[in-house]
């Protein structure tokens, strides 16, 4: 068990081991619940990472799932104890945010606080943690038919809190952020010319101070990473997680095969797109056009 693991990382390691062991044993969650005399919802919440499992519950479950190696059992029990360590309540778990953010978004925020690296790809808009307040507000108003005013406000607040946390970690060297944007993202004037110009200046500032490394997928390149989804690929202490978003919903994915495909595709296209200097020059041109319209 790595020294300094957080409850987030330890809980993830336990729940993935349990899920993989259950699937390897060809058992359903309902069968596990029946054998352990638990509710089905408890099994689902443990495997989803919504709750931590106690060491006393974990030991008989490991036996049932066929995990009997003493070193493996000891490591997982130690992880379970770390996972249940009390932490100061995170802002995204407070009622006002829990009720207005999706489960996948809350998990993303939790993992962002632990990730050593984030690869972000967007085909629609500037990634959440890089958005200025005006840009975020303008973007959220596009969903006014789907979101209540309270949901909209909480999500705008969440964007800014995420931004503060992610950029603080990036600027201190705790996290490396790679950003790949479709050219359309750097042309789409969300919020109007003034707000979008401010957003582009903020991107340029983040590039200049080393908080992010950014490359653009130009229209001339016939090699999109994905056809219809934006995603964030986060590297944790062990393994990676994938947050994927479309215009209709979002999801957190931890399937190794799916993650590996996204990672391979991202890395391949990253080497084919416009480099950092070309991307920055494009941003500068867009700022000049917005500030001096003909």
Q: d(Cα 292, Cα 216) in Å, to the nearest integer? A: 23
Alpha-carbon 66 to chain mean position: 32
Convert the pLDDT of each residue in 82-119 to its tens digit.
Answer: 888 755 567 888 888 888 888 899 889 989 988 999 99
Ordered by start, the domain boundaries in the chain are 7-83, 91-291
Convert the pLDDT of each residue in 213-224 to its tens digit.
Answer: 999 999 998 766
Q: Which CATH superfamily is domain 7-83 in?
A: lambda repressor-like DNA-binding domains (1.10.260.40)
Strands 213-217 and 249-253, bridge-based pairing? unpaired
- Tell me which of 27-36, 54-63, 141-150 is least confident: 141-150
Alpha-carbon 87 to chain mean position: 21
Average pLDDT in the 120-125 region? 93
Average pLDDT in the 31-41 region? 95
CATH of domain 91-291: 3.30.870.10
pLDDT band at residue 288, thresholds of 50, 70 and 90? Answer: very high
Helical ranges in the chain per DSSP H: 7-24, 29-36, 40-48, 55-64, 70-83, 95-98, 103-112, 133-140, 149-171, 193-208, 256-270, 276-291
Cα angle at 132 between 131 and 135, to 5 degrees? 80
Listing DSSP states for 199-211 in one string gives HHHHHHHHHHTTS
Q: d(Cα 226, Cα 232) in Å, to the nearest integer? A: 12
Locate tokens 């109007």: which residue?
Answer: 192
pLDDT band at residue 1, thresholds of 50, 70 and 90? Answer: very low
Report the share of the chain in percent with pLDDT over 70.
94
Q: Helix 7-24 to helix 55-64 angle, to the nearest 10 degrees?
A: 20
**Residue 237: phi, psi to the nearest 5?**
-60, -35
**Residue 38: phi, psi to the nearest 5?**
-115, 170
């Amino acid at each position: 068990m790595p020294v300094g693991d957080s409850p987030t990382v330890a809980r993830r390691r336990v729940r993935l081991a349990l899920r993989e062991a259950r699937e390897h044993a060809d058992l359903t969650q309902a069968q596990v619940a029946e054998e352990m005399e638990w509710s089905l919802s408890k099994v689902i919440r443990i495997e989803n990472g919504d709750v931590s499992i106690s060491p006393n519950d974990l030991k008989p479950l490991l036996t049932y799932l066929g995990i009997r190696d003493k070193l493996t059992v000891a490591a997982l029990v130690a992880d379970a104890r770390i996972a249940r360590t009390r932490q100061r309540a995170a802002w995204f778990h407070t009622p006002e945010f829990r009720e207005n953010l999706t489960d996948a978004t809350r998990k993303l925020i939790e993992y962002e606080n632990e990730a050593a690296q984030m690869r972000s790809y967007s085909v629609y808009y500037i990634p959440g943690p890089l958005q200025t307040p005006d840009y975020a507000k303008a973007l959220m108003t596009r969903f006014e038919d789907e979101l209540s005013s309270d949901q909209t406000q909480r999500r705008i607040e969440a964007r800014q809190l995420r931004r503060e946390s992610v950029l603080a970690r990036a600027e201190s060297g705790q996290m490396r952020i790679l950003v790949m944007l479709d050219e359309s993202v750097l042309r789409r004037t969300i919020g109007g010319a003034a707000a979008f110009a401010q957003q582009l200046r903020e991107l340029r500032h983040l590039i200049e101070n080393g908080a992010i490394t950014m490359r653009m997928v130009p229209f001339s390149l016939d090699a999109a990473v994905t056809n219809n989804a934006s995603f964030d690929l986060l590297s944790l202490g062990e393994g990676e997680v994938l947050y994927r978003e479309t215009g209709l919903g979002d999801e957190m994915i931890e399937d190794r095969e799916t993650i590996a495909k996204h990672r391979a595709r991202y890395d391949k296209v990253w080497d084919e797109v416009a480099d950092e200097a070309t991307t920055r020059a494009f941003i500068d041109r867009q700022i000049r056009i917005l500030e001096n319209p003909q």
